[in-house]
Structure 1
Amino acid sequence: MAASSATAFMINGFDPTTADRLTQDEQNLIARRRKLLGPSYKLFYEHPVHVVRAEGVWLYDPEGNAFLDVYNNVPSVGHCHPRVVDAIAKQSKVLNTHTRYLHEDILKYSEDLLATYPDEISNVMYTCTGSEAVDLALRIARYYTGGTGIIVTANAYHGLTTAVAEISPSMGPNVPIGQHVYVVEAPDDYRGNGEDIGEVFAQRVEDAIKKMTRHGIKFAAFIADGIFSTDGILTDPPGFLKKTADVVQAAGGLYIADEVQPGFGRTGTHWWGFQRHGIVPDLVVMGKPMGNGMPIAGVAAKPEVLESFGNDIRYFNTFGANTVSIAAAQAVLDVIKDEDLMANSVKIGDYMVDGMKKLQQKYEHVGDVRGAGLFLAMEFVTDRTSKKPDAKLSLNVVNGLREKRILISAASPSGNVLKIRPPLPFTAEHADVFLSGLDEVLAANS
């Protein structure tokens, strides 16, 4: 099979068969990567980006050229934030160990973290990655309910472990969906024809529960991130997931909120994406934005959901909540509060949406603009009547921006939606650079 086919299921993936168009140094690096890391490791963009350092919202190549980062959510408070770097350095000089010893810092952080949650959620368990956190949440849900059936959306991505890959349809046809995993169409209000998307989506989930029950499968859990980031960044209207949560919990299943991408203040109005919808999930999974890229993630839980699992099953993760990662996580939480980054997410997110909507009026192939805080989307269509996805234009824009040293990517099953999620300290000046570049690229593709 041609190497280019391997990129078919990764939006914005580099095609290694085109490497001869790059500089000799870039070709050498790519060849070494493939030889040493194997073919699974993919690169972004038609012209991959070589980065050697980062600061704030900027990435730098070996020549010192600055690339505006409008994509990376993992360094949530900005690349190499001085307070996070300092916390890591100081703690690494003192102690780095696991959770089987008494230590104050994990308790202080857990108290501060859980204070951002509804009162009903008062326990937290730690892992190293979001994939591990989702894997653990699935184990808890199945143990608590005695069921095995899981419901996900049609282009969901939740992680890379064996169990979690089985609930991640976006990974493509070579990664089988689990036999007890039921897939429902995502809640796309842009194509909703005026329907109550909350009612429609809740009915889809209810129908899936009935179908799995009819096949002798006991329902265990529904899992989604509250902005459906890989399904196309489906943010509106706030509150539409409340009816789905009611359906899930009434059927005896658990609602698992995947907050790896929408969490830690990214939506601006709330700490957590599920709060935009007025729901209290049973389990919440968090990922590496927790530590600004350090290996720390976790599962927050209602204590009654965790009790039997915790009493009956010994769980341990050597590096989960190690003292250095906890120090990083504490610094991230403190920075979000002290620098008022949630308010900034609302302010700059609204500013960017306003600018993108002006471009929507200017360019007819921009079908929709939407977002929540600093997680934004611009959707391209061949025409606004049919709303047929225009993936070619989307990738042209992504790669056109890359040539202007502005980094974003794309999402949705068709890849026709710009995925825009800059670090939280983004400013209006940064937004203007992005909007100006986007205008120029759209003009060149009109």
Structure 2
Amino acid sequence: MATKSSIMDTNSYSDDYSSLLSNTTRDMINRREKWMGGAYRLFYRKPVNLVRGQGQYLWDAEGNKYLDMYNNVAGIGHCHPAVVEAVTEQMKLLNTHTRYLHERIIDYSEDLLKMMPDEIDKIMFMCTGSEANDLALRVAQEYTGGTGIIVSREAYHGTSALTSGCSPALGSEQPLLPNVRLIETPDYYRHGGTPEEFTAWYLGEMQKKIDELAATGYKFSCFLADSIFSSDGVHPNPVGFLKAAIDVVHKNGGVFIADEVQPGFARTGDAFWGFARHGIIPDMVTTGKPMGNGIPISGLAAKHEVLAAFSDKLPYFNTFGGNPVAIAAAQAVLNVIKEEKLQDHCKVVGAKLLKALQEVKDRHPDSVGDVRGAGLFIGFELAKNDGKKTPDQQKALDAIELLRDNNVLTSVAGPYGNVLKLRPPMAFQECDIDWIASTLDKCLHQLES
């Protein structure tokens, strides 16, 4: 039996809900389905027609204001004036590809690499995280001479043929590549034990998967992971468990690719990069979404000796990757993160948000199993109070619909589709905490009555 995509199908519109829609919304969906490919998905049983954004807020076509608790594409906030100005001014001058000299791309490369560990000293640019991960996997194979890939059980790493074959979150209709093995989700909530016991278990799982690859004739190449395990349900802790697993990766001749599309660019508060929370120096780092605050740009940063195994043999060209307009956006984002001290902001405001959400959990012991997170990246897990921590997907899906009806936008994550992924733009303020906490509290009361 085919399993649905946890990131595409769990919280998506279907025609079963057409009776809930206004005539205007139904007409838009009909037009969309007539002209656009059927692989697309819309959020919510009643899709939202958004027309404007500012900071952490969004407005629909009827003028209703929403709190965005999900969008890390506009990482520093929707329509940030610094990005709008930078993109506008550069567009007036020039937009072309990277086969001409342009000072902006060199300056930005230097500035971004200064935010990396010293060992990460080269960078290349693309347009999407999918492209960055695709290239990283190719580089890993050239450097190690192997093809075996390990990803987490509910990982999502992209939409290319190579990365979709490494993305079990896309569902069973998207087959995994034969050289891919899935390591268990690092779910401390369910696994239990001390941090030391959990770490020992996880590094043992890593060795087991490496051995499985070898037993089936695949030399180990790499472990590709998002260090907050977002699609797996947001698993940031215990801090340091991931480093022990990366030590196993290196001892077995593999490389670690840190997919920072989700946890990167100051979001976790503890560090600028998600991998840095765990004390890790990756071999490669991939970035995307929030890098340009909505302008398509991504990157692959790497140790020079790792990248050289690929680049000394093969040229690489991406027509729009690193174009001056995209670089202008990325530079503006990086400047804003520094100038507005957004890493500290995420740490301070994120801790207060986590505390407020834990208080909501305490008021709903029959509905909420766990609340966990780092900075402005929090997983709010709905589980039954049955002594078994049974995931409650239905309640989670009903909760996000009620939140949407109360003008708070988010979605679900995890293999069971029962974790609310609360990841607002970093423009989210302390004054917004009551909005999400009180609304979530009200929605849970409604579901429990």
Report the TM-score when normalising by structure 2: 0.97
Report deviation, 1:20. 2.7
Assess if the C-alpha contact under 8 Å between 1:367 and 1:384 holds in 2.
no
Q: Indicate yes or no: 2:18 matched with 1:19.
A: yes
Residue of structure 2 equivalent to 1:237: 238
Report deviation, 1:114. 0.5
Assess if the C-alpha contact under 8 Å between 2:8 and 2:41 holds in 1.
no
Q: Indicate yes or no: 2:270 matched with 1:276.
A: no
Letter in 2 for 1:69: D
Residue of structure 2 equivalent to 1:226: 227
Superposition RMSD in Å: 1.5
Matches within 5 A, 1:329-348: 329-348=330-349
Residue of structure 1 equivalent to 2:128: 129
Report deviation, 1:53. 1.2
Query: Which residue, out of 386, 392, 395, partners 1:393?
Result: 395
Q: Distance in 2 between matches of 1:121 and 1:9?
A: 33
Letter in 2 for 1:239: G
Report deviation, 1:302. 0.4
Letter in 1 for 2:387: T
Query: Which residue, out of 409, 420, 427, partners 1:425?
Result: 427
Q: Distance in 2 between matches of 1:129 and 1:423?
A: 19
Q: Distance in 1 between matches of 2:21 and 2:321?
A: 40
Q: Distance in 2 between matches of 1:430 and 1:37?
A: 36
Residue of structure 1 equivalent to 2:409: 407
Q: Distance in 2 between matches of 1:322 and 1:415?
A: 37
Spell out, residue by residue over 1:285-344, the C-alpha distance to the aligned partner (whole angstroms, 9 max, x if none): 101210001110010100010112111101010100000000000000000000111111
Which secondary structure does the structure 1 equivalent of 2:420 belong to? Answer: strand
Which secondary structure does the structure 2 equivalent of 1:423 belong to? Answer: coil
Unaligned runs of 5+ in 2: none
Letter in 2 for 1:413: P
Spell out, residue by residue over 1:118-154, the C-alpha distance to the aligned partner (whole angstroms, 9 max, x if none): 1010100100000000000001001111111000111
Which secondary structure does the structure 2 equivalent of 1:445 belong to? Answer: helix
Moved over 2 A (4+): 5-9
Report deviation, 1:106. 0.6
Spell out, residue by residue over 1:350-379, the C-alpha distance to the aligned partner (whole angstroms, 9 max, x if none): 111100111111101211110010000111
Q: Tell me: CA distance 1:87–1:203, structure 2 relative to 1, closer, same or farther (3 Å).
A: same
Report deviation, 1:420. 0.4
Assess if the C-alpha contact under 8 Å between 2:199 and 2:244 holds in 1.
yes
Matches within 5 A, 1:67-82: 67-82=66-81
Query: Which residue, out of 427, 431, 439, partners 1:437?
Result: 439
Letter in 1 for 2:306: V
Deviates more, 1:5-14 or 1:157-166: 5-14
Matches within 5 A, 1:79-228: 79-195=78-194, 196-228=197-229
Q: Distance in 1 between matches of 2:6 and 2:402?
A: 19
Assess if the C-alpha contact under 8 Å between 1:134 and 1:159 holds in 2.
yes
Matches within 5 A, 1:310-325: 310-325=311-326
Assess if the C-alpha contact under 8 Å between 1:78 and 1:423 holds in 2.
yes
Q: Distance in 1 between matches of 2:105 and 2:372?
A: 37
Residue of structure 2 equivalent to 1:416: 418
Report deviation, 1:17. 2.8
Report deviation, 1:8. 9.8
Q: Distance in 2 between matches of 1:430 and 1:220?
A: 44
Assess if the C-alpha contact under 8 Å between 1:188 and 1:197 holds in 2.
no
Letter in 1 for 2:441: D
Q: Among the aligned pairs, what percent are the same residue?
A: 48
Residue of structure 1 equivalent to 2:375: 373
Which secondary structure does the structure 1 equivalent of 2:146 belong to? Answer: coil
Q: Tell me: CA distance 1:421–1:9, structure 2 relative to 1, closer, same or farther (3 Å).
A: closer
Assess if the C-alpha contact under 8 Å between 1:121 and 1:282 holds in 2.
yes
Q: Tell me: CA distance 1:342–1:251, structure 2 relative to 1, closer, same or farther (3 Å).
A: same
Q: Distance in 2 between matches of 1:206 and 1:26?
A: 51
Spell out, residue by residue over 1:199-241, the C-alpha distance to the aligned partner (whole angstroms, 9 max, x if none): 2111111111111112211000001100100111011111110
Unaligned runs of 5+ in 1: none
Q: Distance in 2 between matches of 1:235 and 1:183?
A: 19
Assess if the C-alpha contact under 8 Å between 1:198 and 1:242 holds in 2.
no
Report deviation, 1:168. 0.2
Report deviation, 1:269. 1.3
Report deviation, 1:38. 2.1
Which secondary structure does the structure 2 equivalent of 1:122 belong to? Answer: strand
Assess if the C-alpha contact under 8 Å between 2:5 and 2:172 holds in 1.
no
Residue of structure 1 equivalent to 2:48: 49
Report deviation, 1:10. 1.7
Q: Distance in 2 between matches of 1:15 and 1:319?
A: 35
Q: Distance in 1 between matches of 2:244 and 2:440?
A: 37
Report deviation, 1:76. 0.3
Which secondary structure does the structure 2 equivalent of 1:177 belong to? Answer: coil
Q: Distance in 2 between matches of 1:420 and 1:66?
A: 18
Spell out, residue by residue over 1:2-24, the C-alpha distance to the aligned partner (whole angstroms, 9 max, x if none): xxx89996221111232132011
Assess if the C-alpha contact under 8 Å between 2:13 and 2:45 holds in 1.
yes
Letter in 2 for 1:267: T
Report deviation, 1:403. 0.2
Report the TM-score when normalising by structure 1: 0.97
Spell out, residue by residue over 1:74-131, the C-alpha distance to the aligned partner (whole angstroms, 9 max, x if none): 1000000000000000000001011111111111111110111110101001000000
Q: Distance in 2 between matches of 1:70 and 1:165?
A: 26
Q: Distance in 2 between matches of 1:356 and 1:193?
A: 21
Q: Distance in 1 between matches of 2:7 and 2:70?
A: 21
Q: Tell me: CA distance 1:7–1:110, structure 2 relative to 1, closer, same or farther (3 Å).
A: closer
Matches within 5 A, 1:227-306: 227-306=228-307
Residue of structure 2 equivalent to 1:360: 361
Report deviation, 1:401. 0.4
Letter in 1 for 2:127: C
Which secondary structure does the structure 1 equivalent of 2:385 belong to? Answer: coil
Which secondary structure does the structure 1 equivalent of 2:150 belong to? Answer: strand
